[in-house]
Amino acid sequence: MRLSAFWRRSSSTAAGVYVSAAIGFLGSIVAFRELGTVDFGRLALVLAATGFFQLFADLTVEEAVVKYGFRYAAREDWGRFRRVFRVGLDLKLAGGVLGAVGIVVLAPLSHLIWNAHGLFWPMLLAALLPPAQAPEGLASAALIVRRRYDVRAAFLIVSMALRLAAFAVGAAFGVLETVIALVAAQVVATAAISAVGLAALRRFPSAPAVPLEEDKVPFRRFVIQSSLGSVLSPMRGLLGTLLLGAVTTVRQVSYFRVAQVPESAFAALSSPVRMILLSEQTHAFERGRWDTVNRMLRRYVTGAALLMAVLLPPLLWLMPTLLRIAYGAKAEPAANAARLILLVAAIQVILGWAKSFPVSIGRPALRLVAQGAEIVVLVPALLVLGSRYGATGAAGGFLIAAGAFALSWAVILVRLRRDPSLGAPEPAVSRP
């Protein structure tokens, strides 16, 4: 890719991600103000439970599709290239259905698990979200393999705009109506990006799909390891909501969801860079350019650390004022929790490369150690501190767990430097 094209796509990606994040932030404000503290907490529980089952049932096959898609494109092995995408779509659809079944089973038990009522029908309808969203991941993978992450970012804006509209319309009536609107918005968003993803796939040379043969077992192993890693990463936030709801009140859950906004904002800050790293580092690695992979990694860590050093002090000081402006005076009790989550978010930004880098070098299992350590520390810390100090205690548990995550990756990096087996593959050779 020419340098000018790279920077044009990179800047478009950043703009798309930041605009979509701003729209998503606006959506949370609309929902909180329209629903009120208690109903917003109920909605948070419904969406967290939906996301939790979706994560467990849904295989994160898109990362494997991106990795092997770049590999087969480099080798011009278009038969296996097509096969990878077909297998990926089948797995995503099956996972979406399985996630829906899990939510349906949980719905009648929701009042026994959380200190909240009126969750049955919203959860039952929310079961439609996993199958509705399932094809979106494969469409995104097609765009990334095409190295059109800028188009993927543009569809984030579409998705968040539809979600904002759902909050604006549904929240005026109640939790159930909000869930109905969110399902409708997801169907439209998935249909739009799926059409564009299919068009991107058709631009690759056509060939009949052929079996993966000797790559079948490595591909399956990659999917399993990548899925486990992808489950553990977003499960942190979902666990915070679900576990806190089990040991304290819906009001504290609502405050905690408001406090998590800084983490969402900072994740959006690094998201375009991580999307670009996944595409460009994988592309470089599969062509034997290991020096390029390392150089991009060093630049990211240095830039992220400097940015956090500049942003953190004023944001920590202004947090109560920012929450009051955005959510109103009733959100002020979330200020201390939000400050702690802000520190968590800074750690996550600096280590943002830890999600894409293992996928790019073909070792997704590396994520499991650090993320597993984070979850093991998070659960008891959150239950103990959350039961005593509510949202602020839960945020403290997250900060302790983020420290465990950072320490684990420090150990992993030291071991990688001593690992002679780690290296880039031989440059790909085209098939005759």
Q: Is residue 218 part of a domain?
A: yes
Q: Is residue 412 part of a domain?
A: yes
- Reported as type and span, the H/E element at residue 432 is none
Each residue's pLDDT tens digit in the chain (432 positions)? 455 666 777 778 778 878 888 898 888 889 988 998 889 888 988 988 888 777 766 666 787 888 888 889 888 899 999 998 998 888 888 888 988 998 999 889 887 777 778 889 999 999 999 999 989 888 988 998 888 888 888 898 999 999 999 999 999 999 999 999 999 999 999 999 999 999 999 999 988 888 888 888 888 887 777 766 666 666 666 777 778 888 888 888 888 988 888 887 787 777 777 777 777 777 777 777 767 777 887 888 888 899 999 999 999 999 999 888 888 888 888 999 999 999 999 998 898 888 778 877 777 777 778 888 888 899 899 999 998 999 999 999 999 999 999 999 888 877 766 665 545 444 444 443
> Cα-flanking dihedrals φ and ψ of residue 87, to 5°?
-60, -40
| pLDDT (0 to 100) of residue 170 | 94
- Reported as type and span, the H/E element at residue 390 is helix 366-417
Neighbours of 69 (CB within 10 A): 26
Q: Is residue 36 part of a domain?
A: yes
Q: Is residue 333 part of a domain?
A: yes
| pLDDT (0 to 100) of residue 403 | 93
Q: Is residue 424 part of a domain?
A: no
Residues sharing a CB contact under 8 Å with residue 284, sequence separation 6 or more, in sequence order: 290, 292, 293, 296
Q: Is residue 431 part of a domain?
A: no
Q: Is residue 429 part of a domain?
A: no
pTM across the whole model: 0.67
Domain limits at 258? 3-417
Q: Is residue 320 part of a domain?
A: yes
DSSP 428: P
Q: Could you tell me which of 230, 241, 232, 231 has the C-alpha nearest to residue 341?
A: 241
| pLDDT (0 to 100) of residue 231 | 63
Q: How far apart are CA 241 and CA 121, in angstroms?
A: 19
| pLDDT (0 to 100) of residue 164 | 94
Q: Name residue 267's amino acid.
A: A
Number of domains within the chain:
1
Q: Could you tell me which of 184, 193, 274, 191 has the C-alpha nearest to residue 230?
A: 274
